[in-house]
Chains A and B, each alone.
Chain A
């Protein structure tokens, strides 16, 4: 059975950054709430954020204070955790530029803050990273790393590693060149910038860079694998999750898909989009990189979380990362070298017939290539992926990875994309719909050793929230129509559920309150790409609205409404 790395610290009942720990397990050893008593869970208190867009953040708990970041306008609330209600300790309003709402591809979301060294650090939509004093909310420093005039924004939750705040940009759908920036935690100055495309000196590929696969070796591949100049508007943004292995001293993250969507405009492998990088956080130098979707055709970006576990493989334990990718495969990758040990499909895949572990490349199905003036149907998984950003969770007690999934397929047609700075750079008409079985989402319990699903719960809508798993052997997740559920981690049986006022796309957390009890908290507020039919009033009569997602969720407005509420549950 796979196990959590030994350097993951003991659970202290807090939740200091979105992924819980550097291995991104989203596992808590709190076990007061378990499968036997979870049916008694009731609402302890709620808090309205005052914003009604997609709430994708994970609340943080530091001591007896909870921190929440809202979607634009990115209010940061510090709440005193008391038993019956949460009172506001302080509020910080960063006043981001309203024009930033026009360059946020997929709702004006924010995936959360991070706590380190007495500071709360978070990003704003218009490209700033802000560090506040966690006690009184005073601004310590503010650094701008993104420019909305290029179409750039920031939605990701930063990660603090070794005195550096790691911040990635968003905007691949606007032709933004992706990058990961490291800011000094003390003063916000830029320590290093690792670009996702361009010459080796920009991507920080030096003498220590040893990619495992032959296709990833060569000089300046970030330039030569593109038509001339296309890498400057090529995407590869870093809007997803970052993990860190302090023993190997490597941070792991993925880059988004390439721009434009129409792949015929960018012949070549388009490095280093849709790739997983392992970098030294002190200097940013890359140690290895693996491009999971070279010359990507379907917006299968690589930004999904990398869960670091130690996996039994051929008789010995191996240090790996588990990566459920947009392209429908769960990758098991050796996190020291970048070798793909296995890649098994966790959903129905028609765009490839498997991943060749000798070359690391997917075996693509050529009939599924979208072309100009040719509509290709039954493309599975759809561009939203077998799983989008919504993070999975790993339990060392069951050895299973709990994956919240989309079950969507699409029809796609390529168009000639035109680049105008600050406007979308796409080149595709997409229409998504339910995949095989008619359900549009699922929660899978995946065994990474066997490479297969142990149990699966079908969901009517895409399972758009993150997952949380506890030592009480419970998996918590939310659905797009507002159900917050607790299921038995071993059997998948539903133990408890709660209907929230608005759909849930946030990340649930659990913590020990000041009174010693265990609490479970989640933000409700439907939105994100999946929830735009509600949060953006997108009209699904136009099948291509919201880049095809509107068609897949045309019944969502009847099932839920806009909202923005923190819900915290506990046992009576």
Chain B
């Protein structure tokens, strides 16, 4: 069958596929899961070096961080951000700063007034997952956003707060 529209329908298919990939692409990054971690144990961290969070904004890291936050008893001192024994992580200003590298250092090295050190007890990638979750405890961001573009479309009306 030689349809004069064959090449056009082909083009349409290619454009459609490209459009879908473009729409899904950023979502793929957000909901990607790196499961096969070769994981160095958390080693000594230089004081507050501005290290980038490799899982920045990744939804799977947020939910894993939420699980680890409970498992490692972070919630025992910090509750769900409100604090108690430890200072509130929902607060606007933190004593040791809110940079991801600073949070990483707090967890790995501990801090003088009672924050224990987790060096050697937690692999590096788990520390970063907890950093990712802890950053969502800030009052401006919602907690443990669900992964995947589909959910984002369902909450499209809420705009930035759905992150």
Interchain CB contact under 8 A, B88 and A422: no
Min CB distance B145 to A, Å, is 18
A103 to B115, CA, bound (A): 9
Q: Is B113 a contact partner of A542 (Cβ separation < 8 A)?
A: no
CB distance from A505 to the nearest CB of B (A): 17
B91 at the interface (CB under 8 A from A): yes
Q: Could you show 12 A-B contacts with beta carbons less than 8 Å apart?
A: A420-B72, A423-B72, A426-B73, A426-B76, A536-B87, A537-B87, A538-B82, A538-B83, A541-B81, A542-B82, A543-B82, A545-B80
A101 contacts the other chain (CB 8 A): yes
- The distance in angstroms between the C-alpha atoms of A460 and B115, with both chains bound, is 34
Given the known inter-chain contacts A545-B79, A545-B80, please indicate yes or no for A102 contacting B72, CB distance below 8 A.
no
Q: Which residues of A contact B123 (CB under 8 A)?
A: none
Answer yes or no: A288 CB below 8 A from chain B CBs.
Answer: no
Q: Are B84 and A538 in contact (CB under 8 A)?
A: yes
Which residues of B in the span 58-79 have a Cβ within 8 Å of any Cβ on A?
70-73, 75-77, 79
A546 within 8 A of B: yes
- Tell yes or no: A228 within 8 A of B by CB: no
Please judge, given known A-B contacts A418-B71, A424-B85, A546-B84, whether A541 and B90 are in contact too, CB under 8 Å: yes
> Which among A536, A539, A547 has the highest number of chain B CB atoms within 10 Å?
A539
Residue among A98, A104, A424 with max Cβ neighbours from chain B (10 Å): A424
Q: How far is the CA of A415 from the CA of B83 in the complex (A)?
A: 18
List residues of chain B with CB within 8 A of the CB of A540: 82
Measured CA separation A420–B86 after assembly (Å): 16
A398 contacts partner chain B, Cβ-Cβ < 8 Å: no
Q: Is the CB of A424 within 8 A of B71?
A: no
Neighbour of A545 across the interface among B82, B110, B115, B139, CB < 8 A: B82
A100 at the interface (CB under 8 A from B): yes
Interface of chain B: mostly helix, strand, loop or mixed: loop
Q: Which 9 A-B pairs have the closest CB atoms?
A: A102-B114, A545-B82, A424-B76, A542-B82, A423-B73, A545-B79, A101-B114, A539-B88, A546-B84
**A-chain residues with CB within 8 Å of residue B115 when the two chains form the complex:** 102
CB distance from A266 to the nearest CB of B (A): 17
Asked whether B79 lies within 8 Å of A544 as measured between CB atoms, the reply is yes
The answer to the question of B159 belonging to the interface, with a C-beta cut-off of 8 Å to chain A, is: no
How far, in Å, is B102 (CB) from chain A's closest CB? 18
By the criterion CB–CB under 8 Å, are B113 and A98 in contact? yes
Q: Which residues of A contact B (CB under 8 A)?
A: 98-105, 173, 415, 418, 420, 422-426, 532, 536-547, 550
Known: A99-B112, A102-B115, A103-B114. A545 touches B84 (CB 8 A): yes
Q: How far is the CA of A98 from the CA of B86 in the complex (A)?
A: 13
Closest to A423 in B: B73
* Best-buried of B82, B91, B114, B116 by chain A (most CB within 10 Å): B82
Interface residues on B, range: 20 to 34
Is A423 a contact partner of B87 (Cβ separation < 8 A)?
no
List the A residue with the shortest CB-CB distance to B137. A542
The distance from the CB of B158 to the nearest CB of chain A, in whole angstroms, is 19
Contact with A along B90-127 (1 / 0, CB 8 A): 11000000000000000000101111100000000000
Measured in the bound complex, the distance between the Cα atoms of B87 and A520 in whole Å is: 35
Q: In the complex, which residue of chain B has the Cβ closest to the Cβ of A174?
A: B76
Residues of chain B with a CB closer than 8 A to A538's CB: 79, 82-84, 88
- Bound: A539/B93 CA distance, A: 13
**Closest CB in chain A relative to B141 CB, distance in Å:** 14
Question: Chain B, 136-149, contact with A by CB distance < 8 Å: what is the 0/1 string?
Answer: 00010000000000
Query: Which residues in B have their C-beta under 8 angstroms from that of A550?
Result: 79, 82-84
- Judge whether A542 and B81 touch: CB under 8 Å: yes
Q: Nearest CB to that of B87 among chain A residues?
A: A537
Contact: A537 with B83, CB < 8 Å? Answer: yes
Chain B residues with Cβ below 8 Å from A543 are: 82
Instruction: Report A-chain residues with C-beta under 8 Å of the C-beta of B77.
Output: 102, 423-424
Are A420 and B73 interface neighbours, CB within 8 A?
yes
Contact of B82 (CB < 8 Å), options: A103, A420, A541: A541
Contacting A at CB under 8 A, from B25-65, are none
Chain B residues within an 8 Å CB radius of A103: 85, 114
Q: How distant is the Cα of A541 from the Cα of B83 in the complex, in angstroms? A: 10
CA distance A540 to B110 in the complex (A): 25
Q: Which residues of A contact B86 (CB under 8 A)?
A: 102
Distance in Å: Cβ of B79 to nearest Cβ of chain A? 4
Tell me if A415 and B70 are in contact (CB < 8 A): yes
A532 and B88 contact, Cβ closer than 8 Å, known pairs A98-B113, A420-B72: no
Q: How far is the CA of A547 from the CA of B112 in the complex (A)?
A: 23
- Which residues of A lie under 8 Å from residue B139 when comparing CB positions? 541
A375 to chain B minimum Cβ distance, whole angstroms, is 15
| A544 interface neighbour in B71, B80, B113, B114, Cβ under 8 Å | B80
**Interface pair B81/A539, CB less than 8 Å apart:** yes
Chain B residues within 8 Å of A102, by CB: 77, 85-86, 113-116
Task: List residues of chain A with CB within 8 A of the CB of B112.
Answer: 98-99
Chain B residues whose CB sits within 8 angstroms of the CB of A536 once the complex forms: 83-85, 87
Report the bound CA distance from A383 to B110 in whole Å. 30
CB distance from A402 to the nearest CB of B (A): 30
CA distance A102 to B114 in the complex (A): 4
Cα of A104 to Cα of B75 in the assembled complex, Å: 15
Q: Is the pair B85, A104 in contact by a Cβ cutoff of 8 Å?
A: yes
How many angstroms between the C-alpha atoms of A420 and B122 in the bound complex? 12
Contact status of A546 and B113, CB under 8 A, knowing A420-B72, A424-B76, A539-B88 = no
Cβ 8 A contact of A423, one of B76, B83, B84, B91: B76
- In whole Å, how far is A257's beta carbon from the nearest beta carbon of chain B? 16
State the CA gap A416–B88 with chains docked (Å). 23
Task: Assess whether B83 is in contact with A418, with CB atoms less than 8 Å apart.
Answer: no
**Closest-CB distance, B87 to chain A (whole angstroms):** 6
Cross-chain contact B73 with A537 (CB below 8 angstroms): no
For A422, the closest partner residue in chain B by CB is B116
Q: In the docked arrangement, what's the CA distance between A439 and B75, Å?
A: 29
Q: How far is the CB of B163 from chain A (nearest CB, A)?
A: 19
Residues of B contacting A547 with CB < 8 Å? 79, 84
Let me know if B114 and A99 touch, CB within 8 A: yes
Q: Is the CB of B84 within 8 A of A539?
A: no
Give the distance to chain A from B124, nearest Cβ to Cβ, in Å.
18
Residues of B within 8 A of A422 (CB): 116
In the bound complex, residues from chain B placing their C-beta under 8 Å from that of A545 are 79-84, 88
Q: With A and B bound together, what is the CA distance between A541 and B139 in angstroms?
A: 9
**Residue on B nearest A550 in the bound complex, by CB:** B82
**Contact A98/B114 with A542-B79, A542-B90, A544-B79 known, Cβ cut-off 8 Å:** yes
CA of A543 to CA of B139 in the docked complex: distance in angstroms? 14
Contact B113–A101 (Cβ < 8 Å): yes
Starting from the known contacts A538-B82, A539-B83, A550-B83, 8 additional A-B residue pairs (CB-CB under 8 Å) come to: A104-B85, A173-B76, A420-B73, A537-B87, A539-B88, A542-B79, A542-B88, A545-B88
